[in-house]
Structures are given as C-alpha cells and as structure tokens.
DNA sequence: TAGGCCATGTAACCGGTTACATGATTAG
DNA sequence: CTAATCATGTAACCGGTTACATGGCCTA
C-alpha cells in the first residue's frame, strides 16, 4: 500500500499528525500493512492537502512544538472508498528468512539455528502483540484482520517449531572446506 | 530481497540467462520471495559481472536470439554465503486485501464479496501450485519452504472461508447515502 | 547528562517498475 | 494472421528510505 492510501485510511479513523501517522504505521494496527517513514508521510500529507482530500488545523502547545492535525474531508473519504473498491492488488510477501532456509545447506549450522531462534522469537512477539491488540479493540473490521493475523502467525509459528530440527539437519551440508580464512 | 541476492541465489542452483532468472522469480520456486523485472535483472547482472561474482558465456542459437548464460563464480558463492549469514531482515508483508477487509464497512458489500471470492481463488491457486511444486521437487531446502508455504496458505484459506460471512455482514454498514451518482 | 519522546520538514540518493525498441520462430 | 515465447537491453520515471537540520521537555 502506498503512503497516499495509508494516510487516508488512518485519517478515516481519526484525526492525526504526521508524527502519529508514522507511529500508527509502525506499531499500531496498520503496522500489518506498512512501515512508513517521515520522508514518505510529510510530502504525502502536503499533496493530499493540495488535492483537498484532507484539511489541517495547527495546534499550539506549551513547551512542545506546534502540531499540525490533519483530518479527512468528504472528498478524501470518497477517494478512499474508490481506492478500496478497486480489485485489491495481490499480496506482497518478502522473506529473507525463507531464503536462508531454502539455501540452508550453504550456511553454517550455527547461523541457521540463530536465524530460526530469532524467527521464533519474532513470530511469538508478533502473535502476542496481535492478541493484545485484539483484546483492546472493538472495531469489527480491525478484529477481522487481527484474527486473520493471529491464525496465520500461529500456523507459521507451529510450522517453524515443528520443523526446526529438520532444517538444522540440512544446514551446512553443502559447505565447502572453509576452514582457514 | 534485492535483485542482487536473487540473481546469486538462482545462479547458485544453476546457470541461467537474464530471461530465465526473471521467469524463475515469477513462476518458479523463487516467486515466493520476489517478482523481478528485466529492468532490475539485466543491470544487476552487468554489475555482478563487473564485480566478478558471476561469469558469462554467449551461446549462439539458430533461429533464436543469442543467449548470455550466466554462472556463479567462487567469489559469488562466497558473497552469497555472507549475505545469508547476516541476521535476516524481518519479513515484509503488504496486503491490499486486508486493508479492504479492515475498512469493509466503507465499501459496497458487492465489492467486498468480489474481493473475498478473488482472494479465495488466488489462495487456492497458489496452494495448488505449491503442492505441485512440492511433488516435483527433491531439494531439501526448497521442500522445507514449500511445506511452510503450504501450511501458511492453508491456514489463510481456512480463515477466509470460515469468516467470509462475518465480513459480508460488516460490509457497507458505514456507507453514506450514496445512491445517485 | 545522555537518551528518548514529541514534532516538523528537506535533500540526496537508490532500487525498482513501466514502457519502449528490436526481431525471429512457433503454435493456435 | 495473431499471439505467445524466446531474448536482450535502455531510459524515464517514481515511490520511498536515509540522513540531516532543529529544538525543547522529561526521565533515568
């Protein structure tokens, strides 16, 4: 998903600053789709403003920098709806871990095992985060995708745990004599 | 994964032309990680050649354009191993479909249902392809990730099928009066 | 006093996509 | 006759990241 749609989708839920949008895209419910950086968000917000899809108000704060709070306009809502109505682009999935697993025979066993352990920890962490988010959230659509995430992560975690040793057996089997460096 | 690593990983299995690398990245086992375009692959191959990580031989063919067959060098193998030994970057997952699901209340029910149906078909198709690939493949590392893919896709498909109607119920519930266009 | 959080923004850079140019062969 | 497959490559463009610039407050 591009920054354009991300901003509209978040602002559709509630008003927010650029700073908050980035946070939501990194730890909030939207982290499921994207990680966006300031360099993507601020210019996008400016563009959305020019296009009349969002509005701003500046809030002065004592002791803190002024915040520019963006909110979605009716035109923005419509644009978002139109985007959502197009047949969704296929999912994008990129996994460096799976590449390591696929080529495990060429990697030091210790390395593979480290990667697997890290993977399990990561998956477990994300699963916990999903459960926590789920417990706190009462928005139906969000819950639907949260449950989806839980189902998929659980399956993923199960698989990695169950097949950990199989991968270890493969690991390093095609390493050349690589003793002295 | 970047084009650089993709090319080395594929050439690690077998010699190939730029054309074949692209194909493998789109329908082959590697399609699990990336879709690469010619515009990414050909310049990358040239760079890898300059760096001495791959070699080329040109094969003239009667009635077909000459092919430049690339093969990985020992230096290339080592570079690949080093890349694989670094702690793998976290997975990247982007799903336009999940965004639609999350915001289903703002989308016409018919649209949501179309998206869900397309999603199920896509998932089923990919699952079939994975099973087929699995049946034909006897490389251990590839099988490990193929089985992983099967597990995850199956869970995903199950979830979508089981929760299809729940999503339909949410769909369109927050649509404004949008009758006449 | 060091580091993190709040908060905004820009500029350089980079990796990649899209579209184009070229052209013969083969299958429907 | 058309479309697909094989096969190579380039150029314009684009979306996004990284790093920088700025600065005050609060907490450890």
Span A108-159, pLDDT tens digits: 999 999 999 999 999 999 999 899 999 989 999 999 999 999 999 999 999 9
pTM over 0.95: no
Which of A108, A136, A143, A102 shows the shortest CA–CA distance to B149? A102
Q: What is the percent of chain A with per-residue pLDDT over 90, rounded to a whole number?
A: 75
Average pLDDT over residues B15-20: 96
Residue B26 has pLDDT above 50, yes or no: yes
Strand partners, A68: A58
Q: How far apart are CA A158 and CA B91, in angstroms?
A: 17
Q: How confident is the model at residue B176 (pLDDT cuts 50, 70, 90)?
A: low
Q: How far apart are CA B140 and CA A16, in angstroms?
A: 49
Q: How far apart are CA A83 and CA B173, in angstroms?
A: 18
Q: For the packed helices A18-26 and A3-13, what is the interaxial angle rounded to 10 degrees?
A: 100
Q: How far apart are CA B143 and CA A7, in angstroms?
A: 40
Q: Which nucleotide is nearest to B25 (CA to C1')?
A: C16
Question: Residue B88 and residue A100: Cβ atoms within 8 Å?
Answer: yes
Q: How far apart are CA A74 and CA A80, in angstroms?
A: 10
Residue B119 has pLDDT above 70, yes or no: yes
* CA A173 to C1' D15, whole Å: 41
Q: What is the DSSP string of A92-157?
A: EEE-HHHHHHHTGGGS-HHHHHHHHHHHHHHHHHHHHHHHHHHHH---HHHHHHHHHHHHHHHHHH
Q: How far apart are CA B5 and CA A102, in angstroms?
A: 13
Residues 6+ apart with CB under 8 A from B137: B29, B143, B146
CB of A74 nearer than 7 A to strand D: no
Question: Residue B91 and residue A95: Cβ atoms within 8 Å?
Answer: yes
**Per-residue model confidence as pLDDT tens digits over A7-27:** 999 999 999 999 999 999 988
Strand C: list positions under 7 Å from protein Cβ: 6-12, 15-20, 23-26
Strands (E), A5-78: 54-61, 64-72
Higher pLDDT, A53 or B94: A53
Per-residue model confidence (pLDDT) at position B155 = 98
The minimal CB distance from B115 to the residues A87, A115, A159 is found for: A87
User: Does residue B104 belong to the interface with chain A, where contact is any CB pair within 8 Å?
Assistant: yes
Per-residue model confidence (pLDDT) at position B22 = 95
CA distance B24 to chain A (A): 14
Among residues 1-60 of chain B, which lie with CB inside 8 Å of chain A?
1, 5, 9, 12, 29, 32-34
**Winning range, highest mean pLDDT, from A96-100, B68-72, B125-129:** B68-72
Strand D: list positions under 7 Å from protein Cβ: 6-12, 15-20, 23-26
Biggest CA–CA distance in chain B, Å, is 67
CB < 8 Å to A154, chain B: 155
**Residue A44 in contact with residue A3, Cβ under 8 Å?**
yes
Average pLDDT over residues B44-63: 92
Q: How confident is the model at residue B131 (pLDDT cuts 50, 70, 90)?
A: very high
Residue B179 has pLDDT above 70, yes or no: no
**Per-residue model confidence as pLDDT tens digits over A23-49:** 999 888 888 778 899 999 999 999 999
Q: How far apart are CA A33 and CA A153, in angstroms?
A: 14
Average pLDDT over residues B117-127: 93
Cα end-to-end span (Å), chain A: 44
Strand partners, B68: B58
Q: How confident is the model at residue A179 (pLDDT cuts 50, 70, 90)?
A: very low
User: Does residue A101 belong to the interface with chain B, where contact is any CB pair within 8 Å?
Assistant: yes
Residue A177 has pLDDT above 80, yes or no: no
Per-residue model confidence (pLDDT) at position A180 = 33
Percent helix, strand, coil in chain A (nearest 5)? 65, 10, 25
Q: Name the region of A146 (left: φ>0; alpha: ψ -120 to 50; beta: rest).
A: alpha
Average pLDDT, rounded, for chain A: 91
Average pLDDT, rounded, for chain B: 91
Question: Residue A99 and residue B5: Cβ atoms within 8 Å?
Answer: yes
Which of B124, B101, B122 shows the shortest CA–CA distance to B113? B101
* CA A147 to C1' D21, whole Å: 42
Q: How confident is the model at residue B64 (pLDDT cuts 50, 70, 90)?
A: confident
Per-residue model confidence (pLDDT) at position A61 = 81
């Amino acid at each position: 998903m591009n920054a354009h749609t991300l901003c509209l989708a978040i602002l559709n839920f509630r008003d927010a600053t650029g700073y908050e949008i980035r946070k939501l895209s990194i730890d909030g419910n939207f982290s499921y789709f994207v990680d966006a950086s300031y360099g993507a968000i601020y210019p996008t917000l400016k563009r959305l403003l020019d296009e009349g899809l969002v509005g701003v108000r500046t809030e002065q704060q004592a002791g803190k920098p002024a915040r520019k709070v963006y909110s979605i306009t009716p035109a923005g809502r419509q644009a978002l709806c139109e985007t959502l109505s197009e047949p969704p682009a296929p999912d994008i999935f990129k996994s460096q871990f799976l590449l390591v697993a696929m080529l495990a025979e060429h990697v030091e066993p210790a390395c593979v095992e480290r990667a697997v352990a890290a993977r399990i920890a990561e998956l477990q962490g994300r699963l916990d985060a999903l459960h926590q988010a789920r417990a706190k959230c009462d928005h139906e659509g969000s819950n639907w995708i949260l449950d989806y995430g839980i189902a998929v992560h659980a399956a993923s975690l199960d698989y990695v745990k169950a097949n950990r040793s199989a991968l270890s057996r493969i690991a390093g089997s095609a390493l050349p004599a690589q003793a002295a460096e």
